[in-house]
Structures are given as C-alpha cells and as structure tokens.
Amino acid sequence: MERLIYAFSAIFNNLFYSIYDFFARYFANIFILIIVFILAHIFKSYFANIIINFMHRLTKKTKLNVEISSMFFLKKPLRLIFVSTLMFISFMAQKTLITDYPMMLAFVRKFYRLAIILCVIYFIYTAIPIIMEAFSRIKNPSSTLLDDTLMMFFTKIIKVVIFVIAILIVLGEFGVNINGLITGVGLGGLTFALAAQDTASNIFGGLVIISDKPFAVGDWIQSDSIEGVVEDISFRSTRIRTFDDAMLVVPNSTLSSASITNWSKMNKRRVKFNFGITYATSPSQIKSIIHDIQMYLEIHKDIITETALVKLDEFAESSISIMVTFYTNQTSLFELKRVREEVNYEILDILQRHNSSFAFPSTSVYMENL
C-alpha cells in the first residue's frame, strides 16, 4: 500500500512540476493568448454586426433586398470565425511554442481548419431558405420554373446534399479515406435501391408532381379517396390537411398515378339549382318572379353577368319548377356559400313580394259523387 501511495505521489509530483515548468517557461506566451481570447470575446459581437450591416447594405442595392432581421443567423458563425482566427494568429505569433511543441502546432492548425469549415457549412446550410425566399420575390410571375412548391423541394434537396458534403469533409479532416468510402457507398447503393423500391417510386412520384405541377402547397385537391389542403410536399410523401383537421400523409407514388381534381385552380364556380312554386301562381306572377331573379343575378357583384340564367324549367307533380344557374368568380367554398345564401334570401323576398310561395310534395285526391 505504501508503494502504491509513493508511486501516485511521484506521478503527481512529476505532473505538477511539468505543468509548473511549462507555465513558468511560457508565461508570457500564455498570458498573451489569454488576453487575446478575452478581447476576442469582447469584440466578437461588434465584428459580427459590422459584417451583417455591410452585407445588408450590399443586398439593398440589388433586387434581393434581404431584411437585416433575416441575416441574424450569421452571428454565431461570424463570432466563431472571429474568435478562432484571432486565437490562431496569436498562437502562430508565439515562435517559442511552435518550435518546442510541433505536435501542438499541428493540432491547432487542424482545429482551426475544422472550425472554419464547420462555420462555412453552417452558414450555407442556414442561408439556403433565406436565399430561396429572396429569389422568390424577384421571380417572374409567369415563370413555371420557380413556383413555391418547386423552391421548397429544391431547398430540401440542397440541404441534404450540403449535409452529406459536410460529413465527407469532416471525415476527410480526421484522416478517413473518402474515396474508399464513396466507392463502398456506390457498391452498396445498388443493393439499397433494390431493397427500397417503394421509396424510390415515391421519390420519382414526387419529382413527377413537382414537374407536372398538378397541385402546389396551399391548394385544395380531391381524388377518389382524398380531399383536403396540401400542406407539404417532401421526397417520399405529401401531407394533406383534411376538412376534419386531420393530417393525411399520402405516398407520392399514389398521388402521381391518381386522378386529381384541383379546386384551387378554378377561375369560376358554377351554381345550379331548381326550386318549385305552387300551381296557384299565375303566369304573370311567374314571369315577374323570373324577371326579378334574373335582374338580381345580373347586378350581383360576385356573379358573372352573362352566365346568369333563370327559366321556367318544367311542370312537376306538385310544383312549377324554376331553374336558376350562374357562375360566380368566388372559388373558395366559404365565399361560394355566401353568394348562394344571398341569392336564396333574395328569392325568398321576391316570392313574398309577388304573393307566391314554395311548393311542397303533396297529393290531391278528387272524390266523385256517385
């Protein structure tokens, strides 16, 4: 036990004197590094703000015109670049340390390279949505290339590519043979593709949706078994919010091969209905009712005038049927119901003004006196 205590005591003493000797010999160098580190942390925010303001002034002179609040994501990488660069420069200025500890020099160089690489990758990764949003503001409205769905899809692809490149670069910095890794991934890619045929078909289905553009994010679509508003289009699936407020995740291969009705692409909506009035209504009353309804439809601000049509349609079993049909320029369901309600209220008023009423199913029985 005493020998073990003596051995640990000797190790501790040697370590203590080694550290003491290191600090004693390089006190001035270490002191300079500490001062530089403190100053770098004090001024890192000022440096980041100067660069951000400079970049904001540059973008204001172009059509991109990125808001300065959208550029605050640059603060973290700029601070890290500022601190690590100052520390690296100050360390390289310490000739004594560099000469006596070459392994420390190699470590500092690798650490600095890795820090700069990660900062640049982080900057590019976080800047992609901002850049795509800026480009979306200057796109040609008649262009079919840069719609919102396509830009969202490309944003996701670019992010995945950058993430993969970042991993390869970091592995390369740690001495991993990237060429061998890429070759191995290429050989295993065929096996993976065969095992993921459904996923591949969904990805190609997503590309078909993006290229053909049967619908976009925000559109109201309907198929044989699906109806709702598109919220997101990803590599594998499309997320649809149903009118029951449920989230429906549909594989892209299913949507790309289905018949889709895109209600959001309508320029106008058709309204057609019949209503019945009693047989007690005289022909002159019927003509006046039809005329008044026709005039109301033609002056309604949400109804396309030339499409309004009101006619005596047929003589039903218990009513005289009047047909009303028109097109409205309001395509949303809410606005359509509003227009339909306004027309219905007006029909009620017109019938009341002309002393007529709606018919209801009835049967008349005539008994003959014998």
Look up the CATH number of the domain holding residue 335: 3.30.70.100
For residues 276 and 204, state if they share a domain: no
Of 22-36, 79-93, 119-133, 291-305, which one has max mean pLDDT? Answer: 291-305
- The answer to whether position 19 is within a domain reads no
pTM: 0.44
Q: Are 253 and 217 in a shared domain?
A: yes
87 close to 30: Cβ distance less than 8 angstroms:
no
Residue 120 or 95, more confident? 120
Same domain (yes/no): 37, 133:
yes
Whether residue 8 is contained in a domain is answered as no
CA 29 vs CA 22, 35, 260: distances in Å: 11, 10, 72
Q: Which long-range contacts (CB under 8 A, 24 or more apart) does 359-363 make?
A: 359/276, 359/277, 359/278, 359/279, 359/316, 359/318, 359/319, 359/320, 360/318, 360/319, 361/317, 361/318, 362/318, 363/318
Q: Dihedral (C-alpha) 113, 119, 121, 125: value to the nearest 10 degrees?
A: 180
Average pLDDT value for residue range 285-295: 94
Alpha helices by DSSP H, listed for the chain, are: 2-25, 27-60, 75-92, 95-100, 102-138, 148-173, 178-195, 197-212, 252-256, 283-299, 333-353
Q: Is residue 277 part of a domain?
A: yes
129, HSE (Cβ side, Cα atoms, 13 Å): 6
Domain boundary, last residue among 138, 166, 181: 138
- Mark which of 219, 235, 264 sits at the end of a domain: 264
Share of the chain above pLDDT 70, in %: 65
Contact call for residues 174 and 117 (beta carbons, < 8 A): no
Neighbours of 131 (CB within 10 A): 14
Residues in the chain: 370
Return the number of other C-beta atoms located less than 10 Å from residue 112's C-beta: 17
Q: pLDDT tens, 194-243?
A: 445 566 566 666 666 766 677 888 888 888 888 888 888 776 788 899 88
The mean pLDDT of 12-27, rounded to a whole number, is 56
Residue 164: inside a domain: no
Whether 107 is in a domain gets the answer: yes
* Predicted local distance difference test score (pLDDT) of residue 7: 61
Q: Output 114 or 307, whichever has higher pLDDT.
A: 307
Check: CB of residue 294 under 8 Å from CB of residue 324. no
**pLDDT, tens digit, for every residue of 247-263?**
988 888 788 778 888 88
Greater model confidence, 146 or 197: 197
17's CB contacts (< 8 A; 6+ apart) are: none
Higher pLDDT, 362 or 168: 168
- 64 or 100: whose pLDDT is higher? 100
Same domain, 272 and 256: no
Q: Are residues 249 and 341 in the same domain?
A: no
3-state secondary structure of 248: strand
Number of folded domains that form the chain: 3
73-77, 99-103, 131-135, 136-140, range with greatest mean pLDDT:
73-77
Residue 361 falls within a domain, yes or no? no
Q: Are 126 and 33 in a shared domain?
A: yes
Residue 232 backbone phi and psi in degrees, to 5 = -160, 145
Clarify whether residues 129 and 87 are in a common domain: yes
Q: Do both 211 and 275 map to the same domain?
A: no
Average pLDDT, the chain: 76
- Does one domain contain both 126 and 39? yes
On the question of pLDDT at 138 being above 60, the answer is no
User: Same domain for 205 and 293?
Assistant: no
* CATH (domain of 245): 2.30.30.60
Does residue 224 sit in the same domain as residue 301?
Answer: no
Q: Confirm if 221 and 240 have CB atoms less than 8 A apart.
A: yes
3-state secondary structure of 230: strand
Is 38 part of a structural domain of the chain? yes
The top-scoring range by mean pLDDT among 31-35, 70-74, 187-191 is: 31-35
| The predicted structure's pLDDT at residue 291 | 94
Are residues 275 and 246 both part of a single domain?
Answer: no
Domain that holds residue 280: 266-353
What confidence score (pLDDT) does residue 293 get?
94
* More reliable by pLDDT, 237 or 185: 237
Q: Is residue 170 part of a domain?
A: no
